[in-house]
Structure 1
Amino acid sequence: MLTPAQLIGHRGAALLAPENTMAGIELAARLGLQWIEIDAQLSRDGVLVLMHDHELERTTDLTGTVREHDWATLAQADAGSWFGADYSGTRIPRLDAVIERCRALGLYMHIEIKPLDVHETDTAEAVADLLRSIALPEALVISSFSGDTVAAMHRLLPEHPRAQGAEHFPENWREISRSLELDAWHVDADIVTPELAPMLREAGLTVRAWTVNDRARAQQLIDWGVESVFTDDPPRLLR
Structure 2
Amino acid sequence: MQNNPLNVNWQVEHPSATYKDPIEVVVHRGANHLAPENTVASAYAALEHGATWIELDVRKSKDGVLYNLHDETLDRTTNGQGALADMNSDEVDKLDAGSWFGKEYAGTRIPRISEMLDSLYGKANVFFDVKRGTPVKDLVRLVRQKGFATNSFFWFADEGMLKEFVRLAPEMKIKVNAGDIARLQYWMTVCRPSYVEINPEQITPEFKAFCKANGIRIMAAILNANEKAYRTAIEKEPDLVNLDQPELFQKVLAE
TM-score, normalised with respect to structure 2: 0.81
Q: Which residue is equivalent to 1:151? A: 163
**1:44-193 to 2 correspondences below 5 Å:** 44-104=62-122, 106-116=123-133, 122-165=134-177, 171-189=182-200, 191-193=202-204
Note the C-alpha offset of 1:31.
Answer: 2.3
Q: Tell me the equivalent position of 1:11.
A: 29
CA contact (8 A) 2:38 2:56 kept: yes
Partner of residue 119, structure 1: none
Call closer, same or farther: CA 1:223–1:49 in 2, change over 3 Å.
same
How many angstroms apart in 2 are the aligned matches of 1:79 and 1:29?
Answer: 20
Q: What are structure 1's unaligned runs of at least 5 residues?
A: 117-121
Contact 1:41 1:123 in 2 (8 A): no
Q: How far is the alpha carbon of 1:137 from its aligned partner?
A: 4.8
| Residue equivalent to 2:212 | 201
Q: Which amino acid aligns with 1:111?
A: F
Task: State the one-letter code of the partner of 2:124.
Answer: L
Contact in 2 for aligned 1:36/1:110 (Cα 8 Å):
yes
Asked if the contact 2:73–2:83 (Cα under 8 Å) also holds between the matched residues in 1, the reply is: yes
**What number of residue pairs does the alignment pair up?**
232
Distance in 2 separating the partners of 1:170 and 1:71: 42
State how far apart, in whole Å, the 1-side matches of 2:165 and 2:194 are. 12
Judge conservation of contact 1:14–1:233 (CA < 8 Å) in 2.
yes
Report which structure shows greater RCO (CA 8 Å, sep ≥6). Answer: 2
Is this contact kept in 1: 2:50–2:246, CA < 8 A?
no
Query: Residues 184-208 of structure 1, C-alpha deviation per residue, up to 9 Å, x if partnerless?
Result: 1223456545543333333321221
Residues of 2 paired with 1:163 and 1:173: CA distance? 11
* Match in the other structure for 1:210: 221
Q: Quote how far apart the aligned CAs of 1:3 are.
A: 5.9
Q: Which of the numbers 20, 37, 52 marks the counterpart of 2:38?
A: 20
Q: Which amino acid aligns with 2:125?
A: Y
Aligned-residue offset at 1:11:
1.0
**Identity over aligned pairs, percent:** 26
User: 2:116 aligns to what SS in structure 1?
Assistant: helix
User: Distance between the aligned counterparts of 2:233 and 2:208, measured in 1?
Assistant: 9
- CA gap of 1:22–1:3, structure 2 versus 1, over 3 A, is farther
Q: Assess if the C-alpha contact under 8 Å between 1:10 and 1:211 holds in 2.
A: no
- 40 and 192 in structure 1: CA distance in 2 versus 1, 3 angstrom threshold: same
> For the structure 1 residues 29 and 224, does the alpha-carbon distance in structure 2 shift closer, same or farther, using more than 3 Å as the test?
closer
Please give the alpha-carbon distance, in whole angstroms, between the structure 2 residues aligned to 1:220 and 1:202.
24
Following the alignment from structure 1 to structure 2, what is the Cα–Cα distance between the partners of residues 228 and 134? 24
Supply the AA of the counterpart residue of 2:46. A
Residue 156 of structure 1: how far off its partner (Å): 0.8
Two-structure CA RMSD over aligned residues (Å): 2.3
Q: List per-residue Cα deviations over 1:104-153 (Å, max 9, x = no partner).
A: 5x11111111114xxxxx53222112123334355111122222222221
Structure 2 CA distance for partners of 1:99 and 1:108, relative to 1, 3 Å: same
1:170 Cα deviation after fit: 8.1
Distance 1:45 1:51, change over 3 A: same
For residue 108 of structure 1, what is the amino acid of its counterpart?
N
The more displaced of 144-153 and 6-15 is 144-153
Q: 1:53 to 1:191 in 2, by over 3 A?
A: farther
| Equivalent in 35, 47, 53 of residue 35 of structure 1 | 53
TM-score, normalized by length of structure 1?
Answer: 0.86
User: What is the Cα deviation at residue 32 of structure 1?
Assistant: 3.3
